[in-house]
Amino acid sequence: MYGWLYRNALARGDAERAHHLAIGMLGAAERVPGGMASLRALVPEPDERLRIRLWDLPFANPLGIAAGLDKDARAVPALHALGFGHVEVGTVTLRPQPGNAKPRVWRAVEQGALVNAMGFPSDGAAAVRARLIGQRPAGIVGINIGKNRDTELDRAVEDYAALVSALFDVANYIAVNVSSPNTPGLRSLQTAGELLRILDAVNQANSEAAVLAGLRPRPVLVKIAPDLEDDEIAAIAEAALEGGASGIIATNTTTSRAGLPERFGELPGGTSGRPLRERANAVCRLLFQRVGGRLPIVGVGGISCGADAVERIRAGASLVQVYTGFTYAGPRFAETLLGALSADADARGWRSIGDVVGADVG
């Protein structure tokens, strides 16, 4: 029954309203007697071969929820219960903001895609922190952070540093978002020089928060766009290394409308889902060739079935994340992807995810 409600909530009516309804249903599962147990029943027993340790964090499996699905941390325990090894909350901004005007989400159902121009709607860092403190997540929680729309670009570093300080104690890792196409000028911050400035401020705030908490600094990842030339991606990867980043998330949404009906060309925002798959795979392979072994890669974009997840890992991703594919497939999506990874292990005889990361990269 839950699966039927979930799929139909997402398949009908206004796309953003349906999304909020689905997240609300997942969040309510924690408060309803037997709700969490019903979600866990959708997931097979853990496959020990799928466990992976990165940044000294124990991931039950490489599958995660990408930023954008649970922006304000309303359903983190439920998403873990559905089988996801990590959930990336956000994008979270320092101060609450409404995002762009509605409508701002459109479905391309036949193409398995979404176009969104959300613009970082966020309850703000304080509200997200308070919500996460009250939850008991069973897996890893990442927090994706971005500057407020009204923060001038030359002061963006202040937002990112303040966000790290505000959210340090509720994050297992932090993802710096400088690649959304929906905040004016944001993508200019992913150039090598600007990225180094941001990472310097973030790392300083991270170190200071760690000292105050008596903990180790959180891993800091950088999320990049697919709409870059290969040499630009290589330069960003080297800047991420130089700036002390712990990993790269590839990729954000694309401004391209390739593969979508002509009417989508007039819409603002970024495309996610199946049309992004090939470019996201290519970026992942390029990054693995440049920084594989030095920086783990989180592969996201266009993962719509089990074969896509297997392909992305073999293209160099240590972790994979989903969003659009999940919204179309429903609550058994994690089961499908984890089953495909286990089947690949059976067929090829590998014993751990680390054995096959980048296996198909020449």
C-alpha distances out from residue 109 to 70, 236, 323, 327, Å = 21, 33, 14, 11
Of the candidates 299, 343, 337, the one whose C-alpha atom is nearest the C-alpha of residue 318 is: 299
C-alpha distances out from residue 194 to 90, 92, 152, 283, Å = 22, 20, 13, 21
Cα 179 from Cα 90, distance rounded (Å): 14
Residue 174 CB-density burial (10 A; 0-12 exposed, 13-18 middle, 19+ buried): buried
C-alpha distances out from residue 311 to 84, 166, 317, 329, Å = 18, 37, 9, 19
Is 304 considered catalytic here? no
Amino acid at 346: D
Residue of 180, 272, 304, 318 with catalytic role: 180
Cα 334 from Cα 139, distance rounded (Å): 14
Residues ≥6 apart with Cβ < 8 Å to 250? 223, 224, 226, 280, 283, 284, 287, 297, 298, 299, 300, 301, 317
Cα 14 from Cα 250, distance rounded (Å): 28
Report, as residue numbers or ranges, the catalytic residues.
180
